[in-house]
């Protein structure tokens, strides 16, 4: 597995990471045995950049990872752990808003450290921006955590360009985590140029379009009852069939290159810049192996240009989140 550097201050991670959210919530049935098998395979495959958050579960995803390290003889240094704070949920999972107050930042960090069973978080993100707290105050508190040895590097998730600039003026930001994929490219016009200017790496979440770009979801009935994608605009009855045309094109292209659609999608992100990494989520060890092999693809710049041109003929239908969730992105 290739390594890539995020930011300019030494954070190095696997080119393909692992989003752990689905092991606890949102994407249907899950269990600890499958999750542990997937985590073991991730280590064996060099997929050692793992992403979680205190709201996944809520809280249970961090506890799951903490239990994995407790129950297995895995060196802490074997994995680069990223977690997040800033979105509030109660124990029943209800969303309560955003919190970037300095005192909360430190409370949230201590709670995450306890659940994960570790002494230091490798990469700590503000999950969403709090409109009521200046970013300087929030990042200042995050910087205090670095000084205290509780956090190694700082990141923001779905932040806008101006917020990113103001944050970097307080403390180096190593990574911006945002949705980015062959069907979600809206950050290319403004946010990614800002990242390049500031030397901030990109961590692309949902790089496989929440599973849609893999070609394995052929109808809405393939999703379990309670799967949040059933309420996602791109998976709606109105948009599903049109978006399948895009996936069919990706399947034809990947077949011609002797790779899977997922591998093509992940390789495309890696091709965009040397400091871009992806964190596809899965609960399946076989998918870990498949995703890791995406970094072995040899595709020329000319081929990529042709691939993007073919895909661009199919316009994506639907927002990437419901309207109320879109409203809080890019603050």
Answer yes or no: is pLDDT of 109 > 90.
yes
Answer yes or no: is pLDDT of 113 > 90.
yes
CB atoms under 10 Å from CB of 39, counted, come to 25
Identify the pLDDT of residue 162.
98
Identify the pLDDT of residue 29.
81
Identify the pLDDT of residue 94.
92
Instruction: Tell me the β-bridge partners of 281.
Output: 19
In CATH, which superfamily holds the domain spanning 12-210+261-297? NADP-dependent oxidoreductase domain (3.20.20.100)
Residue written as token pair 């693809």: 297
Residues that are catalytic: 56
Q: What is the pLDDT of residues 179-231, one digit of tens each?
A: 999 999 999 999 999 999 999 999 999 999 999 999 999 999 999 988 999 99
- Three-class secondary structure of residue 49 per DSSP: strand
Q: Measured in whole angstroms, how far is the alpha carbon of residue 103 from the centre of its chain?
A: 26
Q: Averaged over 236-248, what is the pLDDT?
A: 95
Identify the pLDDT of residue 28.
78
Does residue 100 have a cis peptide bond before it, meaning omega lies within 30 degrees of 0? no
CB atoms under 10 Å from CB of 262, counted, come to 25
Answer yes or no: is pLDDT of 264 > 90.
yes
Q: Contact at 8 Å (CB) between 233 and 318? A: yes
Identify the pLDDT of residue 121.
98
Q: What is the pLDDT of residues 266-287, one digit of tens each?
A: 999 999 999 999 999 999 999 9
Identify the pLDDT of residue 91.
86
Q: What is the DSSP string of 200-265?
A: -EEEEESTTTTTGGGT---SGGGSPTT-GGGGSGGGSHHHHHHHHHHHHHHHHHHHHTTS-HHHHH
Identify the pLDDT of residue 73.
84
Answer yes or no: is pLDDT of 160 > 90.
yes
Identify the pLDDT of residue 76.
86
Identify the pLDDT of residue 324.
87
Identify the pLDDT of residue 226.
86
Nearest-angstrom CA–CA distance, 254 and 256: 5
Q: What is the pLDDT of residues 308-322, one digit of tens each?
A: 999 999 999 999 999
């Amino acid at each position: 597995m290739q390594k890539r550097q995020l930011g300019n201050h030494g954070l190095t991670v696997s080119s393909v990471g692992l989003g752990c959210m689905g092991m606890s919530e949102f994407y249907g049935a899950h269990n600890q045995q499958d999750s542990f098998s997937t985590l073991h395979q991730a280590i064996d495959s060099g997929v050692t950049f793992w992403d979680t958050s205190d709201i996944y579960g809520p809280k249970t995803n961090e506890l799951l990872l903490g239990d994995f390290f407790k129950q297995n003889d895995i060196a802490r240094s074997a994995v680069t752990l990223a977690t997040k704070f800033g979105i509030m949920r109660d124990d029943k999972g209800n969303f309560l808003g955003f919190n970037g107050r300095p005192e909360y930042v430190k409370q949230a960090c201590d709670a995450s450290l306890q659940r994960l069973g570790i002494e230091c978080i490798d990469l700590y993100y503000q999950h969403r921006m709090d409109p009521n707290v200046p970013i300087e105050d929030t990042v200042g508190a995050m910087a205090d955590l670095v000084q205290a040895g509780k956090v190694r590097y700082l990141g923001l998730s779905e932040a806008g360009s101006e917020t990113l600039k103001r944050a970097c003026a307080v403390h180096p930001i190593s990574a911006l985590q945002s949705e980015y994929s062959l069907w979600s490219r809206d950050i290319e016009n403004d946010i990614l140029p800002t990242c390049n200017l500031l030397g901030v790496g990109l961590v692309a979440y949902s790089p496989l379009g929440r599973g849609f770009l893999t070609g394995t979801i052929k109808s809405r009935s393939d999703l379990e009852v309670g799967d949040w994608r059933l309420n996602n605009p791109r998976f709606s009855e109105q948009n599903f069939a049109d978006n399948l045309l895009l996936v069919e094109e990706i399947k034809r292209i990947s077949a011609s290159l002797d790779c899977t659609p997922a591998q093509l999608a992940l390789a495309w992100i890696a091709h965009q810049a040397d400091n871009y990494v992806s964190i596809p989520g899965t609960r399946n060890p076989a998918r870990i192996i498949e995703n890791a092999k995406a970094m072995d693809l040899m595709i020329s710049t000319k081929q990529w240009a042709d691939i993007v041109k073919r895909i661009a003929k199919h316009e994506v239908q639907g927002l990437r989140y419901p309207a109320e969730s879109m409203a809080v992105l890019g603050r």
